[in-house]
Homo-oligomer: A and B are copies of this chain.
């Protein structure tokens, strides 16, 4: 696949954001978070031997126990490669040599090409990409309450994602339930392509819908079919059915995306104690086996197909069986996954998440811990990093804003911290006597407009002022922010033309009856 050095986007990470010179009036601080490099050393929870043992056990699971594959075409692909297929039980046993060969052809890094090349997404170890909460049937905000997602809601989250540099990719945030399923993919893809120049998402819900999505992106971005297939221009998320099952749309999606050279993020959802063993190591062994089965299917469908290794292993509440997020076990599973992903050398996803029903302190803390776990694990892509509630049953607009504040703080940690003589500031220290202050020093004046990150919804006024102003919480202030962003939103220049390129296609396909959902 792509050589990252030679195909680096034209405008790389902006430099010089912190004015260190002597300019009298420094420029306003920029929030340019388009290309982040994780500043933290990846952490570990397992020894190297233990990671090798988990990997080896996963291979044994695939070879001796196998995976149930519901799609006949997928079983045929596995069989042709030498796997042992039982057409009665639908079990596919995949030999270690087949998996090892697939690991050898899976690319270690690649670029996702966005509508705007400055928005291209690096899938490589060390890169750090954030995506808002995805896949929710409902949306919620403090104005209109919790409700089934609509196309208008979906478009709003596409707009919010476009607005914040730190949200690097579009996604299937909420389900537009007001659009029939055979036409929904047109509306979702159109919203992404006409409101945003970020890297778009296509659902794996059957070949017809997938190919429609590909065609819309190809048209909107002015690519030949060959150009489209030569590099990743979109991605999907594949969830295995733990334990050890690949269902129809997921198997089909892996094949369809691989054949077109597009990205599958293959993510088992291994809940320790429920659909996976109760131990972190056991849940990861099952996760690893399932992810490798999907990765192998992708490579068998097209050698070199871009695949992102996925983890979404957390644990359940053993009292109720409900999934939990941001737990210590979730963090440990994520850090362990980072070790496995580095072991096999693939870019990988983890993510945020919360089980809370409301954008409260529980929701903030669960997402915070899940995100920190992912960042310290060295994840390449973090899905559900902002706004996700109820274990994915809703996305909250206020929570999206407050979570973005955390993501932007982490993005700031990716920027260099000046440590040169000017930053060490002996002269400024000499200037200010005991009892004095630094507010008016030349050193401060030259930097004050850009020195600090300005949090989005922080209120630092004193208690009296805050009380007189109505005692608003951060969540209430976040409401005003999403409202103003949506009110003032303008799509990137040039996207109006995209609509002209794709609307005739949508009209034609709609007239033809749309595309059925494979479920």
Contact = CB atoms under 8 A, between A and B. Distances in A.
The interface centre, meaning the residue of A412, A436, A444 with most chain B CB atoms within 10 A of its CB, is A444
Contacts of A406: 365, 368-369
Interface in A275-292: 275-282, 285-286, 289
Given A277-B444, A357-B459, A451 B413 contact: no
A68 interface: yes
Nearest to A240: B434
Contacts of A67: 434
A438 B281 contact: no
A156 interface: no
Contact of A393 (B39, B274, B463): B463
Interface in A366-397: 366, 368-369, 372, 376, 390-391, 393-394
A519 to B, nearest CB: 17
Contact of A460 (B324, B434, B460): B324
A224 interface: no
Contacts of A6: none
Nearest to A321: B439
A517 to B, nearest CB: 22
Interface in A301-356: 315-318, 320-324, 326-329, 331-332, 336, 355-356
The interface centre, meaning the residue of A241, A289, A413 with most chain B CB atoms within 10 A of its CB, is A413
A81 B380 CA distance: 55
A192 interface: no
A425 B277 contact: yes
A101 interface: no
A47 interface: yes
Given A46-B417, A365-B405, A434-B67, A278 B54 contact: no
A461 B414 CA distance: 37
Given A41-B43, A417-B336, A434-B241, A444 B286 contact: no
Contacts of A41: 41, 43
Interface stretch (A125-133, A470-478, A499-507): A470-478
Given A41-B41, A359-B361, A474-B360, A46 B278 contact: no
Given A369-B406, A448-B273, A475-B360, A463 B146 contact: yes
A362 to B, nearest CB: 4
A244 interface: yes
A90 to B, nearest CB: 8
A429 interface: yes
Contacts of A466: 357-358
A291 to B, nearest CB: 14
Interface stretch (A57-65, A212-220, A228-236, A255-263): A57-65
Given A60-B426, A285-B426, A317-B460, 6 more contacts: A41-B41, A279-B424, A285-B425, A321-B439, A324-B460, A390-B463
Given A358-B471, A426-B285, A332 B417 contact: yes
Interface string A38-53: 0111010111001101
Contacts of A356: 458-459, 474
A199 to B, nearest CB: 25
Given A57-B426, A282-B428, A436-B243, A460 B318 contact: no
Nearest to A333: B417
A40 B41 CA distance: 9
A448 B332 CA distance: 17
A162 interface: no
A402 interface: yes
A361 B364 contact: yes
24 contacts: A40-B376, A41-B41, A54-B424, A57-B424, A68-B434, A243-B436, A244-B429, A277-B425, A277-B428, A279-B422, A279-B423, A279-B425, A280-B417, A280-B423, A286-B429, A327-B452, A329-B452, A332-B413, A362-B458, A365-B402, A368-B369, A368-B372, A372-B372, A393-B463
